[in-house]
């Protein structure tokens, strides 16, 4: 799979896209990029001040007025996700895509130093929450003429290695979730599900896991945005159940 061509400036016009983890990192970059391509973006994150800053930036750049949903994925129960979906429906009337970019991470440590509490948080935020939010929003997504759900994978979930522990396990399971959900939606031609693996990129998370790297030698977050726009937009309408390592493609 080759790197997507430059998307049309208005390729996401009139679409409503929910972005989790929109307060920082790749989620923030994607939210801003989606807005520049015409989408109305629903910003979801724990830090309301960060969401407000992105909200203001989108408006200042001439984008459609976004919506803000301060929400703690790690603390929510099933009812909370259902209420969130209802709030999205009430305020925005439709939903054409979800980018699951929120992630929990602690540190690179051997398994014997990782705790059950840490694993519970990793599984909740990185795996259970994307499942629960997608499930709650499926009725809205089914009403869209072309809906895209993107899970954010991880290189060390795709090919697990020592010290990545619960984080790698939770991200690896997202790939199984992608396959299962995609197959179950096979007859729902207007809803597609894929996993996007950013790979090595100069992001806040990468600086935690690889503090000794020279960030300027890595791909920058904006370099990956053609993948994010392509997989969310109409040009990838026939791409389903795929695990895509975008930073490894030329």
Q: What is the CA radius of gyration of the chain?
A: 17
Q: In sequence order, which residues have a C-beta less than 8 Å from that of residue 86 and are 6 or more positions away?
A: none
From residue 51, how far is each of 28, 69, 81, 166, 180 by CA, in Å?
A: 9, 8, 19, 28, 32
Residue 90 annotated in active site? no
Beta-bridge partners for 17: 41, 97
Residue with tokens 């791409």: 239
Q: Which of 34, 55, 167, 228 is catalytic?
A: 167
What per-residue string of b and e applies to 186-209 under the rule 16 or more CB within 10 Å gives b? eeeeebbbbbbbbbebbbebbeeb
Query: Please, where are the H alpha helices in the chain?
Result: 25-36, 48-60, 78-92, 116-123, 129-143, 155-158, 165-184, 204-209, 225-232
Q: Label residue 80 exposed, middle or buried (CB < 10 Å: 0-12, 13-18, 19+).
A: middle
- Show which residues are catalytic: 167
């Amino acid at each position: 799979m080759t790197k997507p061509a430059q998307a049309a400036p208005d390729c996401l016009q009139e679409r409503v896209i929910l972005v989790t983890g929109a307060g920082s990192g790749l989620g923030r970059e994607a939210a801003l990029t989606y807005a520049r391509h015409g989408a109305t973006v629903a910003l979801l994150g724990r830090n309301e001040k960060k969401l407000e800053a992105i909200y203001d930036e989108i408006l200042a750049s001439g984008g459609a007025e976004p919506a803000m949903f301060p929400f703690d994925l790690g603390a929510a129960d099933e009812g909370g996700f259902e209420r969130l979906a209802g709030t999205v429906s009430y305020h925005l009337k439709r939903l054409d895509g979800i980018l699951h970019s929120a992630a929990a991470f602690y540190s690179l440590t051997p398994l014997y130093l990782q705790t059950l509490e840490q694993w519970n948080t990793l599984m909740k935020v990185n795996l259970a929450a994307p499942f629960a939010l997608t499930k709650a929003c499926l009725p809205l997504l089914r009403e869209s003429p072309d809906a895209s759900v993107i899970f954010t994978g991880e290189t060390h979930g795709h090919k697990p290695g020592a010290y990545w522990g619960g984080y790698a396990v939770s991200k690896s399971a997202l790939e199984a979730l992608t396959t299962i959900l995609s197959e179950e939606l096979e007859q729902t031609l207007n809803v597609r599900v894929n996993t996007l693996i950013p790979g090595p990129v100069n992001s806040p998370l990468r600086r935690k896991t690889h503090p000794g790297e020279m960030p300027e030698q890595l791909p920058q977050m904006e370099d990956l945005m053609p993948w994010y726009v392509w997989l969310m937009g109409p040009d990838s309408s026939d791409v389903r159940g795929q695990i895509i390592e975008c930073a490894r493609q030329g």
